[in-house]
């Protein structure tokens, strides 16, 4: 069949669309270089300080103590988070647990409570919590949902025919879980474990509040004592190295095994495992888990709110306004910077575009305090006028949270049909007009979701904001930290409430996204 002139123009336009413009490639490369600034900072420490001075700073008893603390925390808390998260996901998705739809939502709820607020809740309730045991407890309660959400999505998407075949061959429920379900969750386990471990390495407020020393808390103390001196830089380099080692280990453990299947699998729902006599103890266990993860922090906040007129603080209104301005600007800037990278990744996939996108993920895996130290050093040495300005705070938010925007934007761009855009061009629209009239409206939900995740992450960000914000800046997170670290728990309570309230929409978005992934 002969092609009409309009279809011929569409075909030629599609051919051109496969080749990104030089300007877009240059823009993407520039963004990648900016996001690699913290990595460059870590490398520059070794070069600038030199081996003769760096080695004594790294190989000293205090660093050994920090390394043991940090590694023990990761080695103990990460497997516990995996066990709790995967176990909870399996109970919700594969058993006849009473009210399992409600539990599916409730088990994700502790993610709305920032880790340092959870620590505040436990410390103000039980003053003796400290050391490795306290750190592991708080970490598990705060971070197990980071495993639960991807694990539940993965289990929900499994073909139940494999499990039914194993049962027909005489395998028990436990054997089916170990031999059939668990191997298919390898990517969810590795990804969730990596996220939890990186959060543990980056967390400051939760562990500083119980006086448990990790590399992040030590870097913060060293920075406050010597500014951005060699000792802080050396500790930061070790911390960054640990993060990169975790990335390499996760990539290696992932292997090349394929987990996709041809077709949609069994179109029916999985046969639920009958809990029978186990229903009551399992329900009691889930109630205890949710009570420890969310009930104790919320009860502590409510108790301190009732001790006086805590909402009458003069700084509260200012903190709300400044937080709103900073996080809104940070979300907008992050979306604008992430959009070209996401566009290149989806519309023009290649080794170069994968490298550009990968640079953003490597940098975001570094703790916020490393990003902050890099920007402090860069601005003081090259552009002193930018030191402790809103610009450096916003740039830190971009570097830390750009993956949140990329994930949402990639999904939106992938779902935007190229054919509609090309049809608009065939009707005489310019490329920019076609994208503005056709593609952008389709991207609005993804842009809004990405912006919400970035904004709410930025609202809870503590270390980079403490180091980079101009003097006199008050955000909800920094004001909460100022009050709680001074043991003014009642004054900290209103900020905790507002931080939790701001986090609820982000958790809702993450929960809904995980359910969408599971249905694909």
Strand partners, 95: 273
Identical fold for domains 36-256+274-305 and 307-503, yes or no, is yes
Quote the percentage of the chain above a pLDDT of 90: 29
What whole-number distance in Å separates Cα of residue 143 and Cα of residue 92? 18
Residue 433: the pLDDT is 65
What CATH number is given for 307-503 in this structure? 1.10.3720.10
Distance CA 186, CA 249 (A): 14
Interval 273-286: pLDDT, tens: 788 888 899 999 99
Q: pTM of the full predicted structure?
A: 0.82
Q: Kindly report the CATH class assigned to 36-256+274-305.
A: mainly alpha
Please enumerate in sequence order all residues whose Cβ is within 8 A of that of 340, keeping only pairs 6 or more positions apart, or say none.
Answer: 24, 27, 28, 31
Average pLDDT over every residue of 367-390: 89
Q: Which of 7-16, 21-30, 359-368 has the highest mean pLDDT?
A: 21-30
What confidence tens digit (pLDDT) does each residue in 291-322 have?
A: 999 999 999 999 998 887 788 787 888 999 99
Arithmetic mean of pLDDT, 324-353: 90
Which two three-digit tokens encode residue 11? 């075909």
Average pLDDT, integer, range 498-514: 84
Lowest-confidence segment of 22-36, 64-78, 87-101, 159-173 by average pLDDT: 159-173
Average confidence (pLDDT) over 437-443: 74
In three-state secondary structure terms, 32 is helix
Summarize the confidence of residues 133-146 as an average pLDDT. 94
pLDDT of 518 higher than 60: no
Location of structure tokens 């406050």 = 224
Q: What is the mean pLDDT of residues 438-449?
A: 79
Please spell the DSSP secondary structure of 167-232, one letter per residue.
Answer: HHTT--HHHHIIIIIHHHTHHHHHHHHHHHHHHHHH--HHHHHTT---HHHHHHHHHHHHSS-HHH
Condensed to tens digits (0 to 9), the pLDDT of residues 178-221 reads: 888 888 888 788 888 888 998 898 889 899 999 899 988 888 88
Res. 8 pLDDT band, cuts 50 70 90: very low
Q: Above 90 in pLDDT, residue 393?
A: yes
How large is the average pLDDT for residues 367-395? 89
Q: Nearest-CA neighbor of 113 among 358, 292, 293?
A: 293
* Average pLDDT of the residues of the chain: 83
For the segment 229-258, what is each residue's pLDDT rounded down to a tens digit? 677 777 878 888 888 888 888 777 766 555
Q: Which residues fall within 8 angstroms of residue 197, CB to CB, at 6 or more apart?
A: 74, 78, 246
SS3 4: coil
Confirm if 131 and 76 have CB atoms less than 8 A apart: no
Are the C-beta atoms of 120 and 299 separated by less than 8 Å?
no
Q: Which residue ranges make up each domain of the chain?
A: 36-256+274-305, 307-503
Q: State residue 434's pLDDT score.
A: 66
In the predicted structure, residue 3 carries a pLDDT above the cut 50: no
Q: Are 406 and 338 in contact (CB under 8 A)?
A: yes
What region does 263 belong to: left with phi over 0, alpha with psi -120 to 50, or beta?
A: left
- Chain centroid to CA 303: 30
Q: 511 Cβ partners below 8 Å, 6+ apart?
A: 105, 108, 149
pLDDT-wise least confident of 148-152, 172-176, 212-216: 172-176
């Amino acid at each position: 069949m002969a092609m009409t002139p309009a279809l011929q123009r569409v075909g030629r336009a599609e051919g051109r669309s496969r080749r990104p413009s030089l300007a877009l490639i240059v823009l993407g490369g520039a963004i990648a270089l900016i996001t690699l600034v913290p990595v460059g900072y870590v490398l520059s420490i070794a070069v600038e300080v030199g081996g003769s001075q760096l080695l004594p700073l790294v190989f000293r008893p205090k660093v050994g103590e920090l390394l043991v603390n940090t590694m023990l925390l990761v080695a103990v808390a990460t497997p516990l988070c995996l066990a709790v998260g995967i176990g909870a996901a399996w109970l919700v998705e594969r058993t006849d647990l009473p009210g399992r739809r409600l539990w599916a939502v409730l088990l994700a709820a502790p993610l709305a409570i920032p880790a340092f607020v959870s620590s505040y809740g436990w410390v103000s309730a039980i003053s003796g919590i400290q050391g490795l045991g306290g750190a592991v407890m708080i970490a598990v309660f705060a971070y197990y949902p980071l495993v639960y959400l991807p694990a539940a999505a993965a289990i929900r998407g499994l073909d139940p025919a494999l499990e039914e075949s194993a049962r027909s061959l005489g395998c028990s429920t436990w054997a089916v879980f170990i031999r059939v379900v668990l191997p298919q969750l390898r990517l969810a386990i590795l990804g969730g474990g990596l996220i939890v471990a990186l959060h543990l390495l980056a967390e400051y407020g939760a562990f500083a509040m119980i006086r448990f020393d990790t590399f992040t808390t030590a870097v913060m103390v060293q920075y406050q004592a010597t500014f951005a001196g060699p000792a802080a830089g050396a500790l930061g380099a070790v911390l960054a190295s640990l993060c990169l080692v975790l990335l390499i280990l996760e990539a290696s453990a992932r292997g090349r095994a394929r987990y996709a299947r041809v077709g949609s699998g069994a179109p029916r729902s999985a046969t639920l495992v009958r809990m029978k006599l186990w229903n009551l103890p399992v329900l009691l266990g889930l109630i205890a888990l949710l009570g420890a993860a969310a009930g104790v922090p919320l009860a502590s906040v409510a108790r301190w709110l009732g001790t006086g007129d805590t909402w009458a603080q003069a700084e509260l209104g200012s903190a709300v306004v400044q937080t709103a301005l900073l996080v809104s600007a940070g979300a907008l800037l992050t979306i604008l910077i992430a959009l070209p990278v996401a566009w290149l990744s989806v519309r023009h996939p290649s080794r170069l575009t994968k490298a550009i996108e990968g640079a953003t993920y490597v940098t975001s895996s570094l703790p916020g305090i490393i990003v902050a130290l890099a920007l402090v050093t860069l601005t003081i040495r090259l552009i002193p006028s930018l030191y402790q300005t809103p610009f450096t705070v916003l740039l830190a938010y971009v570097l830390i949270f750009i993956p949140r925007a990329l994930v949402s934007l990639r999904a939106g761009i992938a779902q935007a049909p190229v054919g509609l855009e090309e049809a608009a061009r065939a009707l005489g629209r310019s490329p920019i007009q076609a994208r503005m009239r056709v593609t952008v409206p389709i991207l609005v939900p993804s842009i809004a979701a990405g912006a919400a995740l970035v904004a709410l992450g930025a609202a809870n960000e503590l270390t980079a904001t403490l180091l980079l914000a101009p003097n006199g800046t008050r955000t909800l997170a920094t004001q909460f930290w100022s009050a709680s670290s001074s043991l003014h728990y009642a004054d900290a309570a209103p900020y905790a409430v507002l931080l939790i309230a701001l986090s609820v929409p982000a958790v809702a978005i993450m929960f809904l996204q995980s359910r969408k992934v599971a249905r694909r």
